[in-house]
Chains A and B, each alone.
Chain A
Amino acid sequence: MSTSVSSPSASAALQGKDDRVKTRSVTSRLLSRPEIGSLIGAVAVFVLFCVVAPTFRTAPSLATVAYSASTIGIMAVAVALLMIGGEFDLSAGVVVTTSALAASTFAFQLRLNLWVGIVVALLLALAVGAFNGWLLMRTGLPSFLITLGTFFMLQGLNLGVTKLLTGGVSSDSVADMDGFSAAQAVFASTVQVGGVGVKITVFWWILFVAIATWTLLRTRVGNWIFAAGGDAAAARAVGVPVRRTKIGLFMAVGFCGWFVGMHQLFSFDSIQSGGGVGQEFIYIIAAVVGGCLLTGGYGSAIGSAIGALIFGMTSLGIVYAGWDANWFKLFLGVMLLLATIVNLVVKNQASKR
């Protein structure tokens, strides 16, 4: 990262440098980056499918892979930040559905412009995140339990409220309402890049990952996120606002959930109220494969993007290769185990000299 670090060698020589400590080489520093394991994995998966599935190599398929990765990745980047901050959010999957339902139902029932619904959904998603974070900091219970609670609450609300208002399991179509085309352009349009249609979520994803990486590595808030996850008590003792940081992270998950929810709503025009269940684990897997430690304090936003990319490549690559899609789950499990073991080794290395 910074090259100015070489300066202490001169002063250290004066002090009588500890000759048992070797200066780390560039390779070993590179290998200690959180995302390096997943990058190697991603290259391996890419090469594999390029070899076994000829259609995988074409530009349109790669655009589809990127799209598939982006819908996972937008959530995974927020989930990764939260995990670096030391917490989980099991409600991350259903909050997507909740915000999509809220936007469409609110605007539909009150006959308002869809953008009003979109703003209401955003406030709701942020409120869910704030509630998770506030309750966590208030009670000190594990975030696993608290968000498991919100997970079921939201799932029940999604189904119950939709049934109550529409009598069915999916929301009413919003395709002919005011603001639909504008919202579709923002959340679910296709951009032509060199003759290949690329979904706009891919660009949003890249933007979000860039913002998250910048925040993590180059802002005070980023430092606080690492500290809150690495050792909350130590962070609090030196004056880091741990409570605000963690609540903010939960709200970031809410924001990304809202974004993906809007994408889903405007890709089609209605939403299945039972959707999103199980997705939270996919996001967590993407973050963990990307180098986040389950215990917090370590990981990267780019890693989560690579994790999502591995996910996208595999889920579609298996189809392009003509294999039985059921193998995908097995692959997912293997990937997760491998990533966790790599993380364990990394953490042990980090705590050693």
Chain B
Amino acid sequence: MSAATAGAAPTSEILRLTDVGKSYGNVHALRGVSLSVRQGEITCVLGDNGAGKSTLIKVIAGLHQHTEGQLVVNGEEVRFTSPRDSLERGIATVYQDLALVPLMSIWRNFFLGAELSTGWGPFKRLDVRTMVRTTDEELTKMGISVPDLERPVGALSGGQRQCIAIARAIHFGAKVLILDEPTAALGVKQSGVVLKYVAKARDAGLGVIFITHNPHHAYLVGNHFVILNRGNVSLDRSRQEITLEELTNEMAGGAELAALSHELSTAVPAPDTTGR
């Protein structure tokens, strides 16, 4: 599962951020972030807790508005005022914790916000048959097996939920897929499954923004790596320009880690890979 497609063909840019900043009152959560997302590529955004990853997603997803800089989608400068705006531009966001509604059934979740209707006038109703069939087909295509589509999503495992959310985004014609720490709460095997779908989304021609704090997961699939630190971009490299070791080192704060390692020299130093 190597990112062999990197640089294979000149791909077109779908999304570009130029010097984007966001402040909440007098707190600058994001400063001067520039980022570009291309078709069929995975741009990984890494950063520790509070680095501004969530703010960045919220700006692109339309939950918050940026206060500085430009957000350009398909060559057109935009400013999203609601998630709907963002969705209409083909930007789908899969959130770590709020991807799906737990008490609703799988097929209802799959089509939530984009339900299919049939009939006319007062008899206009949900096309349950088509929706159930489509959900089944799409999930099967992605290799997810769920025995009962009436089952509430809350009954599924975290990995399955992420996969359903990704499958949904792909089905609804997303051009840009933002994944908010899709592997953070998952075990090793489930993370692998999710990463496989991330790669599938890339191969389907989507531009993917993969938010994570796990450099190993990022390096498995990423074409381009951006590290955020205290709201600033501290590293911006393509895959050819960086090794996993360098990425891990940068991610952990480089010099800071060396200092920490010295400080903890009696104990076994381990980079933090849990939590947000």
Which residues of the partner chain B approach A347 to less than 8 Å between Cβ atoms?
103
Which one of A2, A18, A237 contacts B95 once the chains associate, using CB atoms below 8 Å? A237
Tell me whether A234 and B98 are in contact in the complex, defined as CB-CB below 8 angstroms, given that A2-B150, A23-B147, A240-B112 are known contacts. Answer: yes
B-contacting 9-mer, from A103-111, A215-223, A255-263: A215-223
| Interface residues of A, dominant DSSP | helix
Q: Is the CB of B133 within 8 A of A219?
A: no
Tell me whether A235 and B155 are in contact in the complex, defined as CB-CB below 8 angstroms, given that A8-B146, A240-B112 are known contacts. Answer: no
* 0/1 interface trace, chain B 39-70, chain A, CB 8 Å (1 if under): 00000000000000000000001010000000
Give A residues with C-beta under 8 Å from B: 1-2, 4-5, 7-9, 11-12, 15-18, 21-24, 29, 214, 218-220, 222-224, 226-227, 230-231, 233-241, 293, 297-298, 347, 350-353
Tell me whether A7 and B136 are in contact in the complex, defined as CB-CB below 8 angstroms, given that A226-B108, A237-B63 are known contacts. Answer: yes
Shortest Cβ gap from B63 to chain A (Å): 7
Tell me whether A238 and B112 are in contact in the complex, defined as CB-CB below 8 angstroms, given that A298-B103, A350-B155 are known contacts. Answer: yes
Which one of B112, B133, B155 contacts A4 once the chains associate, using CB atoms below 8 Å? B133
* 0/1 interface trace, chain B 144-187, chain A, CB 8 Å (1 if under): 11111111101110000000000000000000000000000000
Which residues of the partner chain B approach A239 to less than 8 Å between Cβ atoms?
83-84, 87, 113-114
* 0/1 interface trace, chain B 130-145, chain A, CB 8 Å (1 if under): 0011001001100111
Q: Which residue of B lies closest to A29 (CB)?
A: B150
Q: Is the CB of B147 within 8 A of A8?
A: yes
A-contacting 9-mer, from B121-129, B232-240, B250-258: B121-129
Which residues of the partner chain A approach B99 to less than 8 Å between Cβ atoms?
234, 237
CA distance A224 to B95 in the complex (A): 19
Q: List 10 A-B contacts (CB under 8 A).
A: A2-B129, A2-B132, A8-B146, A8-B149, A220-B117, A223-B104, A230-B104, A235-B101, A238-B114, A350-B102
CA distance A214 to B124 in the complex (A): 11
CA distance A29 to B152 in the complex (A): 11
Q: Is the CB of A223 within 8 A of B98?
A: no
* B100 within 8 Å of A (CB atoms): yes
Which residues of the partner chain B approach A224 to less than 8 Å between Cβ atoms?
113
Shortest Cβ gap from A107 to chain B (Å): 31
CA distance A233 to B63 in the complex (A): 10
* B223 within 8 Å of A (CB atoms): no
Which residues of the partner chain B approach A5 to less than 8 Å between Cβ atoms?
132, 136, 148-150
Q: Is the CB of B101 within 8 A of A234?
A: yes
CA distance A236 to B83 in the complex (A): 7
CA distance A11 to B133 in the complex (A): 12
Shortest Cβ gap from A177 to chain B (Å): 34
Shortest Cβ gap from B80 to chain A (Å): 12
10 cross-chain pairs, A with B, having the tightest CB-CB distances, nearest first: A239-B113, A230-B101, A238-B113, A12-B145, A234-B98, A15-B145, A351-B154, A218-B125, A297-B103, A220-B115
Q: Is the CB of A24 within 8 A of B112?
A: no
CA distance A315 to B151 in the complex (A): 37
* B93 within 8 Å of A (CB atoms): yes
Give B residues with C-beta under 8 Å from A: 61, 63, 83-84, 87, 93, 95, 98-104, 108, 111-115, 117, 124-126, 128-129, 132-133, 136, 139-140, 143-152, 154-156
Shortest Cβ gap from A22 to chain B (Å): 8
Which one of A11, A214, A226 contacts B104 once the chains associate, using CB atoms below 8 Å? A226
CA distance A5 to B63 in the complex (A): 35
CA distance A347 to B102 in the complex (A): 10
CA distance A200 to B155 in the complex (A): 43
Identify the interface centre among A15, A18, A237: most chain B CB within 10 Å of its CB: A237
Known A-B contacts: A2-B132, A353-B156. Give 14 more (CB < 8 A).
A4-B129, A8-B139, A8-B148, A12-B147, A220-B126, A223-B108, A223-B115, A230-B101, A230-B102, A230-B103, A237-B95, A237-B98, A239-B87, A240-B113
Which residues of the partner chain B approach A353 to less than 8 Å between Cβ atoms?
155-156
Q: Is the CB of A219 within 8 A of B108?
A: no
Which residues of the partner chain A approach B95 to less than 8 Å between Cβ atoms?
234, 237
Shortest Cβ gap from B90 to chain A (Å): 13
Identify the interface centre among B63, B108, B112, B124: most chain A CB within 10 Å of its CB: B112
Tell me whether A237 and B117 are in contact in the complex, defined as CB-CB below 8 angstroms, given that A220-B126, A231-B102, A352-B155 are known contacts. Answer: no
Which residues of the partner chain A approach B147 to less than 8 Å between Cβ atoms?
8-9, 12, 17-18, 21-23
Identify the interface centre among B117, B125, B139, B156: most chain A CB within 10 Å of its CB: B125
Q: Which residue of B lies closest to A238 (CB)?
A: B113
Q: Is the CB of B151 within 8 A of A231?
A: no
Q: Is the CB of A219 within 8 A of B126?
A: yes
Which residues of the partner chain B approach A24 to less than 8 Å between Cβ atoms?
148, 151
Q: Is the CB of B148 within 8 A of A219?
A: no
CA distance A240 to B113 in the complex (A): 5
